[in-house]
Amino acid sequence: MEAGQLRFEVTKAKISWGTYLQDLMKPRFGGGFDDYSGRGPSIVAVNSAGETRVIAVTKKLQEAKDKATVVEHDFKTLGPTAWCERYDVPPSFVTG
Domain that holds residue 64: 7-13+40-95
Give 20 or 94, the one with higher predicted confidence.
94
28 Cβ neighbours under 8 A, 6+ residues apart: none
The total number of structural domains in the chain stands at: 1
24-79: per-residue pLDDT in tens? 666 555 444 444 445 789 999 999 999 999 999 998 999 999 999 999 999 999 99
83 domain residue, yes or no? yes
Residue 45 lies in a domain: yes
Q: Check if the beta carbon of residue 58 is closer than 8 Å to that of residue 38.
A: no
Q: What angle do CA 61, 62, 63 make, to 5 degrees?
A: 90
Question: Would you say residue 71 lies in a domain?
Answer: yes
pLDDT at 83 > cutoff 80: yes
Residue 54: inside a domain, yes or no? yes
Averaged pLDDT for residues 73-92: 95
The answer, yes or no, to whether residue 84 has pLDDT greater than 70, is: yes
Q: Give the pairing type, strands 7-11 and 52-57.
A: unpaired
Nearest one of 88, 18, 14, 3 to 53, comparing CA atoms: 88
Question: Is residue 30 one of the residues assigned to a domain?
Answer: no
DSSP per position, 36-48: ---S--EEEEE-T
52 within some domain? yes
